[in-house]
Amino acid sequence: MRHLLLRTLIALSVGAGALCVVLIWTLWFNAGPRFTQPRIVVIRPGESFKSIALKLRQAKIVRSAWLTIIYGHFSGVDRELRPGEYAFAGGERIDQVLAHLAKGEALVVAVTVPEGFTTRQIGERLERSGLVCANDFVRAAAHGAVVNLLQLGPTGAEGYLFPATYRFSPGASADQIVAAMLERFYDILTLDVEEREFSLGITTHQMLTLASIVEKEARIPAERPLIAAVFYNRLRLGMPLQSDPTAEYSPDGVSRSAYQAVHTPSPFNTYDFVGLPPGPIASPGLAAINATLYPAHTDYLYFVARNDGTHIFSRSLPEHQRAVAALRKATRTQSGKKRPRSPEPQTAAQAR
């Protein structure tokens, strides 16, 4: 009788063990189902691994919370998980799911900020991407917590939001987005850049302001250093910059034609005063920044645009006026129409 009982117990133990092996095999090696729509799981900073495992099970991303906890503890991956918003398409084993969390492969929204965008244009692009309201972003860039901490001044982060492709969590706040863009700018503000600014006798704010004007004026990369040189020469001689993009710039996003803009008083209208405007008018890219730091060596004081985006550069007002007249005549000849408006832009093109 004892032998029979012992054999029965052994058989039950073996059967239970086999059942456990089958269960673990099923839960571990058999990946979960694939989803028609990705399942989103939010991992918050400081959240316990047990809570994370339960979230994954509730979303049916893993088949077992307890097996996930066991694997996490024994593998050590439970100490490597990163907070964020994660999207899972399903069809993955426990180790694959936790690997995503450990690598920080979170759900992100990619946004590209082109060179020459204003703060408002960046905000509008962020809004179209579903991240933040444009007005909230503009306010954060003007006087948000990060901007106030860095003491960027009355023009805020305009010009400091470095053009690049960014990847943000869908839950990112306007302040967090501004901070990421400012961090990217300060990454390029190396010691060499600061030393070059010192040798030119300009501050970082002045450099960015001038670089933003170069960014808006230039259409051909090779002309950026020439355009920067024109503005440096005019500043040195006490001449107004007379840049249409500065006159057209409006912190409030008001749109005006070039003709209206140059005849509208504004702190940014460089037809009305000598010197730089109070701050950048857009976010300059690295090429415009480098052109501003290393302008061409030339005595040009004027330039006017051809129809192909290139410019004619001149050293004197009579020479410049001849260039403008020649362009207008060529335009009339090509079009066969009545006299067109002045070639755009009119930067440093007219004596008012």
For the chain, give the number of residues: 352
Domain-located, residue 227: yes
Domain containing 113 — which CATH number? Answer: 3.30.1490
Domain identity same for 183 and 195 = no
Same domain, 195 and 167: no
Residue after which a domain boundary falls, among 156, 188, 220 = 188
Residue 328 lies in a domain: no
Whether residue 336 lies inside any domain: the answer is no
> Taking the model in full, what pTM does it have?
0.74
Q: What is the CATH number for 52?
A: 3.30.1490.480
* Residue 164 sits in the same domain as residue 207: no
- Do 200 and 290 lie in one domain? The reply is yes
6 assigned to some structural domain? no
Residue 337 lies in a domain: no
**Tokens linked to 212:** 């933003």
Is residue 71 located within the same domain as residue 157? no
What's the CA gap between 41 and 87, in Å, rounded?
7
Give average pLDDT by consecutive 10-residue segment, the chain, 352 residues: 53 47 51 78 92 94 92 91 87 91 84 96 94 95 91 91 90 91 94 96 96 96 96 96 92 74 85 94 96 96 91 94 89 60 43 38
What are the residues facing 111 on neighbouring strands?
A: 166
Residues 179 and 217 in one domain: no
CB 211 within 8 A of CB 292: yes
Whether 196 and 184 map to the same domain: the answer is no
Structural domains of the chain, count: 3
User: Are 166 and 262 members of one domain?
Assistant: no
Tell me the residue range of the domain where 91 lies: 28-103
Which amino acid makes up residue 115? E
CB atoms within 10 A of CB 142: 18
- What are 166's two structure tokens? 């960014």
Residues 87 and 138 in one domain: no
Residue 251 lies in a domain: yes
CA 188, chain centre distance (Å): 14
| One-character DSSP codes across 17-55 | HHHHHHHHHHHHHS---EEEEEEEEEEPTT--HHHHHHH
Residues 172 and 238 in one domain: no
Domain boundary among 160, 188, 216: 188
* Whole-number pLDDT of residue 104: 84
Residue 28 is predicted with a pLDDT of 52
